[in-house]
């Protein structure tokens, strides 16, 4: 029987769990998985049931329903076509006088209408849903009203997409204002048309009206994310969503909202990992975020230093260095300045051994930077680098003196004085060291 077929237990299959070959049991198992939103397992159970009974209509209907949930609309339509074909091939009396077949046909038309709607085959969707409405003995009044509303919504979408096609033509010809006007007419008819909202976002991006781009793109994404939200992970084609995320991300970037831009670009790359343009923009935005973070950390460190909170300043200078290292941005004068300021904090905290070690490292960084970039440096950059080198040498000399390594300290002050012969402070400190020695 197509309604259900069971497998009888036989002696030669006693070692096999008969339930594994019972279509009704397998269908019930599929129903259990479906209710728990485990759609892959449900599909496996329904498919297994149909292996043993290809005419098991309830199993096929439930599989079609599950195909719809996981957005495999063509598969759903195929199963539903098979159900209709089987029932329509029955004798007319058997088909029309059996409530089971009438219920099956009603639900087949209803689900197939939904499948065709998702596939944008609107005429077929309306045709099937209209056919489903005829089964008043199957659907209650509320369900019939919902079906009628669905038909109206599909007709609205169909009409709005016709206008959208005209708008797309204007857009293709670079007539942005004319395209926008047609898209607005579409939205008057169908305010929830995600495609039209997305196109409006694109037009505003091209016009550099970033606030409007964000507004329309957000509306479009909200609609997309609302579609079968619990099965969003089954969506295979993410092109539209990726495009909208990138448009909104670009607008956020243009408005200086780098954090929001990065969130959109991260999501776009999660959906489409090989998108080259998204990778380039994401890197650019991340660089901006890193610069912002560096500036904020450095600002806090300088503020602590002004307050003579040397430990707090040291902590934030270390955070700056860690951030720069993680960025792998290479050696810059700004990075060297952080090391120089860090040394000042260590000196104030009387961590003299650490000062000497950090000074050695920083002097090496200065020499490396000068060797690599001297030809490209401006006069101002060369002057700044020299001043930092002088300060490091003086601080190293100071720490060495505190450690009673006076001869080394003298040498360091002499080196600093050689770089800045007119510096009276260095002269006085050097003279004091020599007298004390």
Percent of the chain whose predicted confidence (pLDDT) is above 90: 80
Confidence (pLDDT) at 6:
44
Query: With 80 as the cut, is the pLDDT of residue 32 above it?
Result: yes
Mean pLDDT of the chain: 90
Confidence (pLDDT) at 376:
87
Confidence (pLDDT) at 90:
92
Query: With 80 as the cut, is the pLDDT of residue 387 above it?
Result: yes
CA-angle at 346, arms to 344 and 349, nearest 5°: 110
Confidence (pLDDT) at 177:
96
Q: Under DSSP, is residue 91 helix (H, G, I), strand (E, B) or coil?
A: coil
Q: Are 35 and 59 within 8 A, CB to CB?
A: no
Task: Give CA–CA dist 23/47, Å, rounded.
Answer: 9
pLDDT digits 0-9 by tens, 399-425: 999 999 999 999 999 999 999 999 999
Which has the minimum average pLDDT: 38-52, 170-184, 216-230?
Answer: 216-230
Helices (H), 38-98: 39-52, 57-69, 73-88, 92-96
For the chain, what's the residue count? 437
pLDDT digits 0-9 by tens, 167-214: 999 999 999 999 999 999 999 999 999 999 999 999 999 999 999 999
Rounded mean pLDDT, 4-16: 42
Q: What is the pTM of this model?
A: 0.71
pLDDT digits 0-9 by tens, 255-286: 999 999 999 999 999 999 999 999 999 999 99
Q: Tell me, rounded to whole angstroms, the distance of Cα 269 from its chain centroid.
A: 6
Domains of the chain: 11-115 (1.25.40.10), 157-285 (1.25.40.10), 354-436 (1.25.40)
Confidence (pLDDT) at 13:
39
Query: Per 3-state DSSP, what percentage of the chain is helix, strand, and coil (rounded to 5)?
Result: 80, 0, 20
Query: With 70 as the cut, is the pLDDT of residue 234 above it?
Result: no
- What values do phi and psi take at 351, rounded to 5? -95, 75
Write the burial class of residue 35 (CB in 10 Å: 0-12 exposed, 13-18 middle, 19+ buried): exposed
Confidence (pLDDT) at 437:
61
Q: Under DSSP, is residue 69 helix (H, G, I), strand (E, B) or coil?
A: helix
Query: With 60 as the cut, is the pLDDT of residue 14 above it?
Result: no
Both tokens assigned to 390: 């002088």
Query: With 60 as the cut, is the pLDDT of residue 10 above it?
Result: no
Query: With 70 as the cut, is the pLDDT of residue 134 above it?
Result: yes
- What values do phi and psi take at 144, rounded to 5? -65, -35
Q: Are 347 and 397 within 8 A, CB to CB?
A: no
């Amino acid at each position: 029987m197509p309604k259900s077929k069971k497998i009888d237990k036989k002696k030669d299959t006693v070692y096999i769990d008969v339930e594994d070959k019972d279509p009704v049991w397998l269908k019930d198992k599929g129903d259990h998985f479906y209710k728990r939103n485990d759609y892959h397992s449900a599909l496996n159970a329904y498919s297994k049931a149909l292996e043993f009974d290809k005419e098991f209509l309830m199993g096929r209907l439930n599989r079609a329903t599950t195909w719809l949930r996981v957005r495999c609309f063509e598969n759903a339509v195929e199963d539903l076509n098979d159900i209709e074909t089987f029932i329509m091939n029955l004798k007319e009396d058997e088909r029309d006088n059996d409530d089971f077949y009438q219920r099956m046909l009603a639900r087949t038309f209803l689900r197939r209408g939904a499948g065709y709607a998702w596939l944008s085959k609107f005429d077929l969707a309306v045709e099937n849903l209209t056919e489903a409405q005829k089964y008043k003995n199957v659907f209650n009044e509320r369900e019939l009203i919902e079906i009628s509303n669905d038909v109206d919504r599909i007709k609205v979408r169909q009409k709005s997409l016709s206008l959208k096609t005209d708008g797309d033509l204007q857009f293709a010809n670079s007539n942005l204002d004319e395209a926008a006007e047609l898209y607005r007419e579409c939205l008057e008819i169908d305010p929830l048309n995600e495609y039209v909202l997305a196109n409006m976002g694109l037009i505003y991006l091209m016009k550099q009206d970033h606030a409007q781009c964000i507004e329309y793109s957000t509306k479009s994404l909200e609609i997309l994310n609302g579609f079968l939200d619990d099965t969003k992970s089954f969506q295979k084609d993410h092109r539209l969503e990726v495009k909208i995320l990138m448009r909104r991300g670009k607008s956020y970037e243009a408005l200086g909202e780098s954090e929001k831009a990065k969130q959109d670009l991260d999501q776009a790359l999660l959906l489409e990992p090989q998108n080259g343009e998204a990778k380039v923009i994401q890197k650019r935005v991340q660089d901006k975020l890193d610069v912002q973070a560096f500036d904020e950390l450095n600002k806090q460190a300088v503020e602590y230093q002004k307050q003579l909170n040397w430990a707090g300043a040291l902590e934030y200078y270390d955070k700056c260095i860690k951030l720069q290292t993680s960025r792998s941005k290479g050696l810059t004068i700004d990075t060297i300045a952080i090391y120089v300021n860090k040394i000042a904090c260590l000196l104030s905290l009387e961590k003299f051994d650490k000062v000497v070690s950090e000074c050695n490292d920083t002097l090496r960084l200065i020499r490396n930077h000068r060797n690599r970039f001297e030809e490209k440096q401006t006069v101002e950059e060369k002057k700044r680098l020299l001043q930092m080198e002088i300060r490091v040498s003086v601080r190293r000399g100071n720490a060495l003196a505190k450690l009673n390594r006076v001869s080394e300290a003298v040498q360091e002050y002499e080196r600093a004085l050689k770089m800045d012969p007119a510096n009276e402070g260095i002269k006085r400190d050097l003279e004091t060291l020599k007298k004390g020695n």
